[in-house]
Chain A
Amino acid sequence: MPAREKILRYGLLLLVLLITVGPFLLQLSTSLKSADEDVFTATPQFLPSKPTLDNYVTVMETLPVLKYARNSLIVAFLVVTGNAIGATLAGYALARLRFRGGKLVLGAFVATLVLPEEVTIISKLVTIQSMGLSDTLLGVALPDIIGMLNVLLMRTAFAAIPKEMDEAAIVDGANAWQRFLRIGLPNVRGMLSVITIFAFIGAWDNFLWPLIVLTDPENLTLTVGLNYLNGTFSANPRLITAGTMIAFIPVVIVFATLQRFFFRGVEEGAIKG
């Protein structure tokens, strides 16, 4: 690649970086600014002159942000565990075991994909209420414990394992459960990581559903709580920015640690919408 093209490409990359990541950095910088620094001016200093974690301490002491974070973690934990187990088991059965009605069940899973989740939130709310779970974290997590898309993604991953491996194991007398543990699982770790990342991010970032289910301020998840605080404490951007960073940083860490699985899938052409 000629040097001129290289410079042009890196220049463009940096420009897009500024547009996509800039607002987050600005937010991070504001959250680190001390009380005597002006954060209201139209042209704020980019770097805090005296970086401090005071705002984070204040947010955690005076606002229930830690409680919100704990609530979000509980929901995310339930959703991640449920999907890792439920979607994996079902995906395996649909991909590797033949049984009467299997095609029909698969068709039903696929059919749900054309259904935007917003269409059914009202009747899901009614279902959650009739289970006595209104205004509970379990009620927030329950509908997402097994995602239909995740079942289908796991099915695709299991289906990619060569048939001969199963046949060899059958010759050795392995039953379905042993084949699942020894041949199936070790070969789908990449996809399992991908659905785990997105189950976590989806649960952690979800806003509409917890907003509808939760009413007690004690029970709010981080996104709903932040929206609430944003309305109440908009006069103090340092606190709001610290709060948004507390909501943002965990997903960045989860994504950064597991992103190689995601991008490997992208390069293999496995991820399509």
Chain B
Amino acid sequence: MQQVLYVYAIARAAHPMPERIEAIDGSDHITSVRADPLSAFYSPVDGADFSQPVIDARSKDVEWLGSIGYHHQTVMSALMGGGTVIPLRAFTLFANETSLRNHLLQEAKKYSAILDRLDGKQEWTLRIEFDPERWSDALVRRVDSLRAIAAETQKAPGGKAYLLRKKLDEEKKRASKEAEQQVVSEVEAAVMAKLACDTVAESRVQRSGGFPQINVLINRDEESRLQDLREDLSSRYEPDGVTLALTGPWPPYSFASGMREEG
């Protein structure tokens, strides 16, 4: 069996090993490579199971994807419990310990700077969800031009009213994107005003049509302030059919990418 190393995260050299955790392949093989001042946590896996053709073939297998996600996140959560980590994207593989160790040595300064920046912090995600019908109604209230068409529709005779309603529907679609983005900007501004933290906002386009979201990096002891803010914002936007879902804490996936290397 040709083994490769499935690498989860990079941490400082003395970062504790998590105990009794299932690895990415369901085994209990989690170990580390140390190259002071850093270490990297990995599991040795069968290279055949983690080859490109196999992963491509299995990528449509929801159960397999779910298992990967569950195991990877379980390991990451356990590592987070021991201190600051730099999470690597899933399926980061190294051929052997020597190459992993060399990588740590080469990039020690950059990784150490990232760890310093992430110390004591956690990532949370605020997903902003728009109920289609209620948001559509809210648009008429929020957007002057739509309000004007709606008012004209009410006064218009039958045929004209029909045409105005069609016009209103078309204008709503055009206005919706901009209005959604305005809500996202308002939420992000509120987060930054209350918590003075780093944020990464993702639009619907960036999320391939999924709801927009804002990832925030806050101090570990600020969770309750973020929860309070979410409740305040939820009250503010609920009448427009907008809800805010808060998930976390996550490993700092969205904020560790100072190490993104060029091809």
**A and B are interacting partners:** no
